[in-house]
Amino acid sequence: MSFPPTASPARFAAFQNQPVLQGALLILFSELMFASMGASIKALSLSDLSNEMTVFLRNLLGLFLVLPLLLKAGVGSFRTCVLPLHLLRTVSGLSAMYCLFYAVSHLPLADAMLLKMTTPIFMPLLVYLWLRERVSRWALLAIPLGFGGVIVILQPQGTLHLAALVGLLGGLCEALAKTTVRRLSCTEPTLRIVFYFALFATFLSLLPLWLSGWQMPSWAQWQFIALIALFGSLGQLLMTQGYSTAPAAQISPLTFFAVVFGASYGYLFWQEMLDLRFVSGAVLISLAGILAVRR
């Protein structure tokens, strides 16, 4: 195998021996995928397709995308001894998905992505309560700082916005999901984690769909649903591999690039402008997220 002059075998081997760099790049591209999914959700929300229908079809198509990859790896790839952890990861991740879809549909895209970025603030608390790991003084400082930024986002005119509260709840659910992924990665390969999430999420999202009723999407809606499933599945694969490659404490701050990507999409497609409220909240939450994972 030959290498171009700028990528010698020595440099390639050096890159392979830098798990933090690999994990960082994986997380960066995963957040680009999630922001792209958010933009597709935003575009789809302008139609009359229900949130329950969108979530179910996103998971169903995601399952069809992942299943061939697992089948190619062999029947043994399905075997797992930690099914309850997969279920917990699915319930928390699916809850975060419902919250994100709702927030993106009712808020500017950058605001919704920013509230999703409260995940690192919640993670130290979950790690302490579940894994009994010590919480550093930086993490303790990050909690009030981060929630100060949340208050700026939630109360622009002194009243609470339901969609913003839902987005904040999504950040908490996502924190639980990512903590569970980190625990699963000790024994489970990336593809198996993503497969069981897609499988369980498809069946669990059937109940809300049954309660809300089936809607046949139009051809244009199917195209956006396909993009949501594609971007979401790629994001899940990249994120899971990223947290399996490097410690979350060192790569989690890169998740804040989702806000940059989301703001860019919002400006390009919906002319959503950033105001002082957003910038102030973004600075506080971003700083808190970085402090929360500082060692």
pLDDT bracket for residue 3 (50, 70, 90): very low
Is 192 a residue whose pLDDT tops 80?
Answer: yes
Residues 243, 181: contact at Cβ < 8 Å?
yes
pLDDT tens, residue by residue, 136-189: 677 677 778 877 877 777 665 555 578 888 988 998 998 888 888 878 888 888
Better-scored residue on pLDDT, 79 or 274: 79
pLDDT tens, residue by residue, 21-36: 888 889 889 989 999 9
pLDDT bracket for residue 69 (50, 70, 90): confident
Nearest-angstrom CA–CA distance, 292 and 151: 18
Query: How high is the pLDDT of residue 1?
Result: 43
- Residues with Cβ < 8 Å from 272, sequence gap 6 or more? 108, 109, 110, 263, 266
Nearest-angstrom CA–CA distance, 43 and 221: 9
Mean per-residue pLDDT for 258-273? 86
User: What is the percentage of the chain residues whose pLDDT exceeds 70?
Assistant: 86
pTM of the complete model: 0.77
Mean per-residue pLDDT for 93-106? 90
Q: Give the per-residue SS3 of the chain.
A: CCCCCCCCHHHHHHHHCCHHHHHHHHHHHHHHHHHHHHHHHHHHHCCCCCHHHHHHHHHHHHHHHHHHHHHHHCHHHHCCCCHHHHHHHHHHHHHHHHHHHHHHHHCCHHHHHHHHCCHHHHHHHHHHHHHCCCCCHHHHHHHHHHHHHHHHHHCCCCCCCHHHHHHHHHHHHHHHHHHHHHHHCCCCCHHHHHHHHHHHHHHHCHHHHHHHCCCCCCHHHHHHHHHHHHHHHHHHHHHHHHHHHCCHHHHHHHHHHHHHHHHHHHHHHHCCCCCHHHHHHHHHHHHHHHHHCCC
Query: How high is the pLDDT of residue 9?
Result: 59
Which of 5-9, 63-67, 163-167, 244-248 is least confident? Answer: 5-9
Torsion angle defined by CA atoms of residues 62, 92, 124 and 141, in that order, rounded to the nearest 10 degrees: 100
pLDDT tens, residue by residue, 228-248: 989 988 988 898 788 778 776
Longest CA–CA separation in the chain, Å: 62
Question: CB neighbours (10 Å) of residue 267?
Answer: 15
